[in-house]
Amino acid sequence: MHHYGDVPGEKTITFIWSAVVALYAFGGLIGSISVRYLTSRLGRKGTMLLNSAIAVVATVIMYISKPAYSFELILVARFLNGFGAGLGLNVHAIYLGESSPKKIRGMVTLTVATFLSLGKLAGQFAGLREILGREEWWNILLCVPTVFCVVQLAVLPFFPDAPRYILIEKGNTEQCKKALQCLWGPGDYKLEIEEMAEEQVVIGGEHNKSLLDLVRDKHLRWQVISLLVINGCIQFSGVSAITVFSFNILLEAGIPVDKIRYVTLGIGASEVLVSITCGLFIESVGRRALMWTGFGGMSVIMALITVTLYLKDYSFVIPYITVILIFLFIIFYGGGPAGTSISLANEIFIQSYRPAAFMFIGFLRWLGFAMLGFIFPFLIAALKSLSFVLFSCVCLIAALYAFFILPETKGKTPLEISQEFKNIRACGSSKEDAVCLETKL
Protein backbone atom coordinates (compact mmCIF):
# COMPACT_ATOMS: atom_id res chain seq x y z
CA MET A 1 0.00 0.00 0.00
CA HIS A 2 2.87 2.38 0.80
CA HIS A 3 4.49 1.62 -2.55
CA TYR A 4 1.41 1.95 -4.74
CA GLY A 5 -0.47 4.55 -2.70
CA ASP A 6 -3.48 2.27 -2.56
CA VAL A 7 -4.38 -1.39 -2.10
CA PRO A 8 -2.89 -3.19 -5.15
CA GLY A 9 -4.97 -5.59 -7.20
CA GLU A 10 -5.31 -9.26 -6.35
CA LYS A 11 -3.15 -10.32 -9.30
CA THR A 12 -0.37 -7.95 -8.22
CA ILE A 13 -0.42 -9.26 -4.65
CA THR A 14 -0.39 -12.86 -5.90
CA PHE A 15 2.52 -12.13 -8.22
CA ILE A 16 4.58 -10.46 -5.46
CA TRP A 17 3.87 -13.28 -3.01
CA SER A 18 4.75 -15.91 -5.65
CA ALA A 19 8.02 -14.09 -6.28
CA VAL A 20 8.81 -14.02 -2.54
CA VAL A 21 8.34 -17.80 -2.39
CA ALA A 22 10.03 -18.64 -5.71
CA LEU A 23 13.13 -16.49 -5.19
CA TYR A 24 14.17 -18.59 -2.21
CA ALA A 25 14.18 -21.74 -4.37
CA PHE A 26 15.87 -19.89 -7.23
CA GLY A 27 18.57 -18.59 -4.88
CA GLY A 28 19.07 -22.11 -3.54
CA LEU A 29 19.55 -23.41 -7.06
CA ILE A 30 22.14 -20.72 -7.89
CA GLY A 31 23.93 -21.30 -4.57
CA SER A 32 24.10 -25.05 -5.17
CA ILE A 33 25.64 -24.75 -8.61
CA SER A 34 28.15 -22.16 -7.33
CA VAL A 35 29.79 -24.62 -4.95
CA ARG A 36 32.37 -25.91 -7.44
CA TYR A 37 33.61 -22.45 -8.44
CA LEU A 38 33.74 -21.02 -4.91
CA THR A 39 35.31 -24.05 -3.20
CA SER A 40 38.07 -24.21 -5.82
CA ARG A 41 38.83 -20.47 -5.40
CA LEU A 42 38.32 -19.97 -1.67
CA GLY A 43 38.66 -23.48 -0.26
CA ARG A 44 36.05 -25.20 1.88
CA LYS A 45 36.52 -23.03 4.96
CA GLY A 46 36.68 -19.77 3.02
CA THR A 47 33.46 -20.60 1.19
CA MET A 48 31.63 -21.31 4.46
CA LEU A 49 32.82 -17.98 5.91
CA LEU A 50 31.65 -16.15 2.78
CA ASN A 51 28.31 -17.94 2.99
CA SER A 52 27.79 -16.85 6.61
CA ALA A 53 28.66 -13.26 5.71
CA ILE A 54 26.08 -13.31 2.89
CA ALA A 55 23.48 -14.65 5.35
CA VAL A 56 24.18 -11.78 7.76
CA VAL A 57 23.74 -9.26 4.92
CA ALA A 58 20.47 -10.96 3.93
CA THR A 59 19.24 -10.73 7.52
CA VAL A 60 20.00 -7.00 7.75
CA ILE A 61 18.13 -6.40 4.47
CA MET A 62 15.15 -8.45 5.70
CA TYR A 63 15.01 -6.58 9.01
CA ILE A 64 15.06 -3.08 7.47
CA SER A 65 12.46 -4.02 4.83
CA LYS A 66 9.63 -3.43 7.31
CA PRO A 67 10.58 0.09 8.54
CA ALA A 68 11.55 0.97 4.93
CA TYR A 69 8.13 -0.22 3.64
CA SER A 70 9.91 -2.05 0.81
CA PHE A 71 8.80 -5.42 -0.49
CA GLU A 72 11.68 -5.17 -3.00
CA LEU A 73 14.10 -5.60 -0.09
CA ILE A 74 12.18 -8.72 0.97
CA LEU A 75 12.69 -10.14 -2.54
CA VAL A 76 16.44 -9.45 -2.37
CA ALA A 77 16.72 -10.96 1.11
CA ARG A 78 14.79 -14.08 0.10
CA PHE A 79 17.11 -14.64 -2.86
CA LEU A 80 20.22 -14.21 -0.68
CA ASN A 81 18.77 -16.52 2.00
CA GLY A 82 18.09 -19.16 -0.64
CA PHE A 83 21.60 -18.71 -2.08
CA GLY A 84 23.07 -19.24 1.39
CA ALA A 85 20.93 -22.33 2.00
CA GLY A 86 21.91 -23.91 -1.32
CA LEU A 87 25.62 -23.14 -1.04
CA GLY A 88 25.87 -23.80 2.69
CA LEU A 89 24.26 -27.23 2.62
CA ASN A 90 26.66 -28.41 -0.09
CA VAL A 91 29.92 -26.96 1.22
CA HIS A 92 29.10 -28.02 4.79
CA ALA A 93 28.69 -31.64 3.67
CA ILE A 94 31.89 -31.50 1.58
CA TYR A 95 33.92 -30.05 4.47
CA LEU A 96 32.75 -32.67 6.94
CA GLY A 97 33.28 -35.54 4.49
CA GLU A 98 36.84 -34.40 3.70
CA SER A 99 37.72 -33.74 7.35
CA SER A 100 36.40 -36.86 9.10
CA PRO A 101 38.21 -40.18 9.80
CA LYS A 102 37.12 -43.09 7.62
CA LYS A 103 35.78 -45.10 10.58
CA ILE A 104 33.27 -42.43 11.62
CA ARG A 105 32.82 -40.64 8.28
CA GLY A 106 29.17 -41.66 7.99
CA MET A 107 28.38 -40.52 11.53
CA VAL A 108 30.07 -37.15 11.01
CA THR A 109 28.48 -36.36 7.64
CA LEU A 110 25.09 -37.41 9.00
CA THR A 111 25.24 -34.42 11.37
CA VAL A 112 24.39 -32.31 8.31
CA ALA A 113 20.91 -33.90 8.32
CA THR A 114 20.74 -33.63 12.13
CA PHE A 115 21.35 -29.89 12.18
CA LEU A 116 19.12 -29.37 9.15
CA SER A 117 16.24 -30.98 11.03
CA LEU A 118 17.23 -29.03 14.17
CA GLY A 119 17.05 -25.82 12.14
CA LYS A 120 13.57 -26.67 10.92
CA LEU A 121 12.48 -27.43 14.50
CA ALA A 122 13.95 -24.13 15.72
CA GLY A 123 12.02 -22.32 12.99
CA GLN A 124 8.78 -24.07 13.95
CA PHE A 125 9.33 -23.27 17.62
CA ALA A 126 10.23 -19.61 17.02
CA GLY A 127 7.19 -19.31 14.75
CA LEU A 128 4.73 -20.21 17.51
CA ARG A 129 2.34 -17.38 18.32
CA GLU A 130 3.57 -17.40 21.91
CA ILE A 131 7.16 -16.73 20.75
CA LEU A 132 7.67 -14.65 17.56
CA GLY A 133 4.79 -15.84 15.38
CA ARG A 134 2.92 -12.54 15.45
CA GLU A 135 2.19 -10.16 12.60
CA GLU A 136 4.12 -7.26 14.12
CA TRP A 137 7.27 -9.39 14.66
CA TRP A 138 7.59 -11.15 11.31
CA ASN A 139 10.83 -9.37 10.33
CA ILE A 140 12.41 -10.29 13.68
CA LEU A 141 11.34 -13.92 13.23
CA LEU A 142 13.06 -14.06 9.84
CA CYS A 143 16.29 -12.75 11.42
CA VAL A 144 16.67 -15.70 13.82
CA PRO A 145 19.01 -17.74 11.52
CA THR A 146 21.68 -15.03 11.60
CA VAL A 147 22.54 -16.00 15.19
CA PHE A 148 24.09 -19.26 13.97
CA CYS A 149 25.90 -17.47 11.12
CA VAL A 150 27.50 -15.03 13.56
CA VAL A 151 28.65 -17.96 15.72
CA GLN A 152 30.26 -19.59 12.68
CA LEU A 153 31.98 -16.35 11.66
CA ALA A 154 33.43 -16.10 15.18
CA VAL A 155 34.53 -19.76 15.56
CA LEU A 156 35.40 -21.17 12.12
CA PRO A 157 38.55 -19.04 11.53
CA PHE A 158 40.23 -21.02 14.35
CA PHE A 159 39.71 -24.31 12.46
CA PRO A 160 41.83 -25.56 9.53
CA ASP A 161 40.57 -26.20 6.01
CA ALA A 162 39.63 -29.75 4.99
CA PRO A 163 42.77 -32.00 5.12
CA ARG A 164 41.91 -33.80 1.86
CA TYR A 165 41.55 -30.47 0.08
CA ILE A 166 44.87 -29.22 1.47
CA LEU A 167 46.83 -32.29 0.30
CA ILE A 168 45.08 -33.44 -2.89
CA GLU A 169 44.28 -30.05 -4.42
CA LYS A 170 46.90 -27.80 -2.82
CA GLY A 171 49.64 -30.44 -2.56
CA ASN A 172 50.74 -29.32 0.92
CA THR A 173 51.53 -32.47 2.92
CA GLU A 174 52.87 -30.66 5.99
CA GLN A 175 49.83 -28.40 6.24
CA CYS A 176 47.57 -31.43 5.79
CA LYS A 177 49.31 -33.19 8.69
CA LYS A 178 48.82 -30.13 10.91
CA ALA A 179 45.14 -29.99 9.94
CA LEU A 180 44.71 -33.69 10.82
CA GLN A 181 46.39 -33.18 14.18
CA CYS A 182 44.18 -30.16 14.89
CA LEU A 183 40.96 -32.02 14.03
CA TRP A 184 41.77 -35.59 15.10
CA GLY A 185 44.32 -35.10 17.87
CA PRO A 186 48.06 -35.95 18.15
CA GLY A 187 49.52 -38.53 15.73
CA ASP A 188 51.56 -38.89 12.54
CA TYR A 189 48.63 -40.19 10.40
CA LYS A 190 51.01 -41.73 7.91
CA LEU A 191 48.50 -44.25 6.55
CA GLU A 192 45.79 -41.62 6.01
CA ILE A 193 48.23 -39.30 4.22
CA GLU A 194 49.38 -42.18 2.01
CA GLU A 195 45.76 -42.92 1.04
CA MET A 196 45.24 -39.26 0.10
CA ALA A 197 48.52 -39.30 -1.87
CA GLU A 198 47.32 -42.36 -3.82
CA GLU A 199 44.14 -40.53 -4.76
CA GLN A 200 46.20 -37.49 -5.73
CA VAL A 201 48.25 -39.67 -8.10
CA VAL A 202 45.09 -41.10 -9.69
CA ILE A 203 43.66 -37.61 -10.20
CA GLY A 204 46.92 -36.17 -11.48
CA GLY A 205 46.59 -32.49 -12.36
CA GLU A 206 42.89 -32.71 -13.17
CA HIS A 207 41.20 -30.96 -10.24
CA ASN A 208 37.61 -29.73 -9.97
CA LYS A 209 35.89 -31.44 -12.85
CA SER A 210 32.83 -29.72 -14.24
CA LEU A 211 29.26 -30.97 -14.08
CA LEU A 212 29.48 -31.75 -17.81
CA ASP A 213 32.61 -33.85 -17.18
CA LEU A 214 30.75 -35.72 -14.44
CA VAL A 215 27.83 -36.58 -16.69
CA ARG A 216 30.03 -37.49 -19.66
CA ASP A 217 32.45 -39.80 -17.83
CA LYS A 218 31.32 -43.34 -18.62
CA HIS A 219 33.31 -44.72 -15.66
CA LEU A 220 31.02 -42.76 -13.32
CA ARG A 221 27.78 -43.84 -14.97
CA TRP A 222 26.50 -45.86 -12.00
CA GLN A 223 27.49 -43.19 -9.49
CA VAL A 224 25.53 -40.56 -11.45
CA ILE A 225 22.56 -42.91 -11.84
CA SER A 226 22.65 -43.59 -8.08
CA LEU A 227 22.62 -39.87 -7.30
CA LEU A 228 19.77 -39.32 -9.75
CA VAL A 229 17.64 -42.17 -8.39
CA ILE A 230 18.25 -41.60 -4.66
CA ASN A 231 18.05 -37.81 -4.60
CA GLY A 232 15.28 -37.63 -7.19
CA CYS A 233 13.22 -40.10 -5.20
CA ILE A 234 13.85 -38.15 -1.96
CA GLN A 235 12.46 -35.01 -3.59
CA PHE A 236 9.34 -36.81 -4.79
CA SER A 237 8.96 -39.17 -1.84
CA GLY A 238 6.47 -36.85 -0.19
CA VAL A 239 8.72 -35.60 2.61
CA SER A 240 8.87 -32.08 1.14
CA ALA A 241 5.10 -32.10 0.80
CA ILE A 242 4.67 -33.15 4.43
CA THR A 243 7.19 -30.55 5.63
CA VAL A 244 5.96 -27.58 3.60
CA PHE A 245 2.26 -28.44 3.40
CA SER A 246 1.85 -30.13 6.79
CA PHE A 247 -0.93 -27.68 7.72
CA ASN A 248 -2.95 -28.58 4.59
CA ILE A 249 -2.35 -32.32 5.02
CA LEU A 250 -3.33 -32.35 8.71
CA LEU A 251 -6.36 -30.18 7.96
CA GLU A 252 -7.35 -32.66 5.22
CA ALA A 253 -6.88 -35.47 7.78
CA GLY A 254 -9.39 -33.81 10.11
CA ILE A 255 -7.08 -32.45 12.85
CA PRO A 256 -8.48 -29.33 14.61
CA VAL A 257 -6.87 -26.11 13.36
CA ASP A 258 -5.71 -24.98 16.82
CA LYS A 259 -3.87 -28.29 17.36
CA ILE A 260 -2.02 -28.45 14.03
CA ARG A 261 0.91 -26.21 15.00
CA TYR A 262 1.74 -28.45 17.97
CA VAL A 263 1.55 -31.57 15.83
CA THR A 264 4.02 -30.07 13.32
CA LEU A 265 6.31 -29.16 16.24
CA GLY A 266 6.19 -32.81 17.36
CA ILE A 267 7.00 -33.97 13.83
CA GLY A 268 10.06 -31.70 13.78
CA ALA A 269 11.23 -32.97 17.18
CA SER A 270 10.88 -36.60 16.11
CA GLU A 271 13.01 -35.93 13.01
CA VAL A 272 15.81 -34.50 15.18
CA LEU A 273 15.74 -37.44 17.63
CA VAL A 274 15.70 -40.04 14.84
CA SER A 275 18.57 -38.33 13.03
CA ILE A 276 20.68 -38.47 16.21
CA THR A 277 19.76 -42.14 16.69
CA CYS A 278 20.66 -42.92 13.08
CA GLY A 279 24.11 -41.44 13.68
CA LEU A 280 24.72 -44.08 16.37
CA PHE A 281 23.97 -46.96 13.98
CA ILE A 282 25.17 -45.83 10.55
CA GLU A 283 28.71 -47.18 11.01
CA SER A 284 27.56 -50.58 12.32
CA VAL A 285 24.50 -51.17 10.13
CA GLY A 286 25.83 -49.53 6.97
CA ARG A 287 24.46 -47.00 4.50
CA ARG A 288 22.79 -49.41 2.09
CA ALA A 289 20.70 -51.23 4.72
CA LEU A 290 19.46 -47.97 6.24
CA MET A 291 18.69 -46.64 2.77
CA TRP A 292 16.51 -49.50 1.50
CA THR A 293 14.70 -50.06 4.82
CA GLY A 294 14.00 -46.33 5.11
CA PHE A 295 12.56 -46.05 1.62
CA GLY A 296 10.66 -49.32 2.03
CA GLY A 297 9.03 -48.15 5.25
CA MET A 298 8.17 -44.78 3.68
CA SER A 299 6.49 -46.56 0.74
CA VAL A 300 4.29 -48.69 3.00
CA ILE A 301 3.36 -45.70 5.20
CA MET A 302 2.41 -43.52 2.22
CA ALA A 303 0.07 -46.27 1.03
CA LEU A 304 -1.51 -46.45 4.50
CA ILE A 305 -1.90 -42.64 4.65
CA THR A 306 -3.85 -42.88 1.39
CA VAL A 307 -6.27 -45.29 3.07
CA THR A 308 -6.67 -43.29 6.30
CA LEU A 309 -7.31 -40.02 4.43
CA TYR A 310 -9.99 -41.80 2.41
CA LEU A 311 -11.63 -43.22 5.58
CA LYS A 312 -11.26 -40.12 7.79
CA ASP A 313 -15.04 -39.54 8.09
CA TYR A 314 -15.80 -43.08 9.24
CA SER A 315 -14.38 -42.68 12.76
CA PHE A 316 -12.99 -39.93 14.97
CA VAL A 317 -9.94 -42.18 15.57
CA ILE A 318 -8.83 -42.21 11.91
CA PRO A 319 -7.35 -38.65 11.85
CA TYR A 320 -5.13 -39.50 14.81
CA ILE A 321 -4.00 -42.69 13.06
CA THR A 322 -2.99 -40.46 10.15
CA VAL A 323 -0.92 -38.31 12.51
CA ILE A 324 0.83 -41.43 13.87
CA LEU A 325 1.58 -42.54 10.30
CA ILE A 326 3.07 -39.13 9.48
CA PHE A 327 5.30 -39.42 12.55
CA LEU A 328 6.38 -42.91 11.42
CA PHE A 329 7.06 -41.59 7.92
CA ILE A 330 9.39 -38.91 9.30
CA ILE A 331 11.08 -41.54 11.51
CA PHE A 332 11.80 -43.80 8.52
CA TYR A 333 12.95 -40.80 6.50
CA GLY A 334 15.23 -39.40 9.21
CA GLY A 335 16.63 -42.84 10.02
CA GLY A 336 17.29 -43.72 6.39
CA PRO A 337 17.53 -41.50 3.30
CA ALA A 338 17.93 -38.16 5.13
CA GLY A 339 21.34 -38.98 6.59
CA THR A 340 22.69 -41.75 4.37
CA SER A 341 22.18 -39.82 1.11
CA ILE A 342 24.62 -37.11 2.27
CA SER A 343 27.22 -39.71 3.30
CA LEU A 344 26.73 -41.52 0.01
CA ALA A 345 27.33 -38.40 -2.09
CA ASN A 346 30.56 -37.72 -0.20
CA GLU A 347 31.90 -41.25 -0.47
CA ILE A 348 31.16 -42.43 -4.01
CA PHE A 349 33.25 -39.77 -5.79
CA ILE A 350 36.97 -39.04 -5.71
CA GLN A 351 38.21 -35.54 -4.88
CA SER A 352 38.13 -34.06 -8.38
CA TYR A 353 34.48 -34.95 -9.01
CA ARG A 354 33.03 -34.28 -5.54
CA PRO A 355 32.12 -30.55 -5.98
CA ALA A 356 30.50 -31.32 -9.35
CA ALA A 357 28.52 -34.14 -7.72
CA PHE A 358 27.17 -31.76 -5.09
CA MET A 359 26.28 -29.31 -7.87
CA PHE A 360 24.25 -32.11 -9.44
CA ILE A 361 22.56 -32.94 -6.12
CA GLY A 362 21.80 -29.27 -5.47
CA PHE A 363 20.26 -28.91 -8.91
CA LEU A 364 18.03 -31.94 -8.30
CA ARG A 365 17.12 -30.79 -4.77
CA TRP A 366 16.11 -27.22 -5.56
CA LEU A 367 14.50 -27.98 -8.91
CA GLY A 368 12.46 -30.73 -7.26
CA PHE A 369 11.60 -28.44 -4.34
CA ALA A 370 10.38 -25.70 -6.69
CA MET A 371 8.41 -28.14 -8.86
CA LEU A 372 6.76 -29.86 -5.91
CA GLY A 373 5.96 -26.55 -4.23
CA PHE A 374 4.16 -25.48 -7.39
CA ILE A 375 2.46 -28.78 -8.25
CA PHE A 376 1.45 -30.25 -4.87
CA PRO A 377 -1.35 -27.77 -3.99
CA PHE A 378 -3.01 -28.58 -7.33
CA LEU A 379 -2.27 -32.29 -6.89
CA ILE A 380 -3.90 -32.61 -3.47
CA ALA A 381 -6.86 -30.50 -4.65
CA ALA A 382 -7.45 -32.73 -7.68
CA LEU A 383 -6.54 -36.21 -6.38
CA LYS A 384 -7.08 -35.74 -2.64
CA SER A 385 -5.72 -38.81 -0.80
CA LEU A 386 -4.74 -40.60 -4.04
CA SER A 387 -1.84 -38.17 -4.50
CA PHE A 388 0.03 -40.12 -1.81
CA VAL A 389 -0.08 -43.26 -3.97
CA LEU A 390 2.39 -41.54 -6.31
CA PHE A 391 4.74 -40.86 -3.41
CA SER A 392 4.45 -44.50 -2.31
CA CYS A 393 5.50 -45.73 -5.77
CA VAL A 394 8.49 -43.36 -5.86
CA CYS A 395 9.71 -44.64 -2.46
CA LEU A 396 9.32 -48.24 -3.62
CA ILE A 397 11.49 -47.58 -6.69
CA ALA A 398 14.25 -46.14 -4.49
CA ALA A 399 14.03 -49.07 -2.04
CA LEU A 400 14.40 -51.63 -4.83
CA TYR A 401 17.34 -49.76 -6.35
CA ALA A 402 19.15 -49.50 -3.01
CA PHE A 403 18.53 -53.19 -2.23
CA PHE A 404 19.50 -54.72 -5.59
CA ILE A 405 22.09 -52.34 -7.06
CA LEU A 406 23.63 -49.87 -4.61
CA PRO A 407 26.94 -51.13 -3.10
CA GLU A 408 27.90 -50.64 0.54
CA THR A 409 30.41 -47.80 1.14
CA LYS A 410 31.02 -48.23 4.89
CA GLY A 411 34.68 -48.11 5.92
CA LYS A 412 36.08 -47.86 2.37
CA THR A 413 38.28 -45.30 0.63
CA PRO A 414 36.94 -43.36 -2.39
CA LEU A 415 39.15 -45.48 -4.70
CA GLU A 416 37.79 -48.73 -3.23
CA ILE A 417 34.23 -47.47 -3.59
CA SER A 418 34.89 -46.48 -7.20
CA GLN A 419 35.98 -50.06 -7.85
CA GLU A 420 32.76 -51.33 -6.27
CA PHE A 421 30.76 -49.30 -8.75
CA LYS A 422 32.91 -50.53 -11.63
CA ASN A 423 31.87 -54.06 -10.65
CA ILE A 424 28.26 -53.14 -11.48
CA ARG A 425 28.20 -54.10 -15.16
CA ALA A 426 25.44 -54.21 -17.70
CA CYS A 427 26.85 -56.73 -20.11
CA GLY A 428 25.31 -57.32 -23.47
CA SER A 429 25.14 -55.93 -26.97
CA SER A 430 22.96 -56.05 -30.03
CA LYS A 431 24.59 -59.37 -31.00
CA GLU A 432 23.60 -61.04 -27.77
CA ASP A 433 20.20 -62.43 -26.95
CA ALA A 434 20.46 -61.95 -23.21
CA VAL A 435 21.36 -58.96 -21.13
CA CYS A 436 22.54 -59.52 -17.59
CA LEU A 437 23.04 -57.20 -14.69
CA GLU A 438 25.82 -58.02 -12.27
CA THR A 439 26.35 -56.28 -8.99
CA LYS A 440 28.82 -56.88 -6.23
CA LEU A 441 27.19 -56.01 -2.93
CA torsion 199-200-205-211 (nearest 10°) is: 40
Evaluate if residue 159 carries a pLDDT over 90: yes
Mean pLDDT, rounded, for 174-194: 93
Cα–Cα dist 358/360, whole Å: 5
At 429 the pLDDT is 37
At 434 the pLDDT is 35
Q: Where are the alpha helices (DSSP H) in 236-256?
A: 239-244, 246-253
Evaluate if residue 173 carries a pLDDT over 50: yes
394 close to 372: Cβ distance less than 8 angstroms:
no
Structure confidence by residue, pLDDT tens digits, 230-276: 998 998 888 877 776 677 677 766 778 878 888 888 888 888 999 89
Evaluate if residue 104 carries a pLDDT over 60: yes
Buried b (16+ CB within 10 A) or exposed e, 49-76: bbbbebbbbbbebbbebbeeeebebbbb
At 9 the pLDDT is 83
Evaluate if residue 130 carries a pLDDT over 80: yes
Q: Which amino acid is at 105?
A: R
Evaluate if residue 225 carries a pLDDT over 90: yes
Evaluate if residue 228 carries a pLDDT over 90: yes
Measured on CA atoms in the order 252, 255, 260, 262, is the torsion positive or negative?
Answer: negative
Structure confidence by residue, pLDDT tens digits, 29-46: 999 989 989 998 999 999
At 245 the pLDDT is 66
Evaluate if residue 398 carries a pLDDT over 70: yes
At 426 the pLDDT is 57
Evaluate if residue 435 carries a pLDDT over 50: no
At 206 the pLDDT is 66
At 106 the pLDDT is 86
Lowest mean pLDDT, pick from 148-157, 283-292, 372-381: 372-381
Evaluate if residue 224 carries a pLDDT over 90: yes
CA torsion 148-153-156-160 (nearest 10°) is: 150
Mean pLDDT, rounded, for 165-175: 91
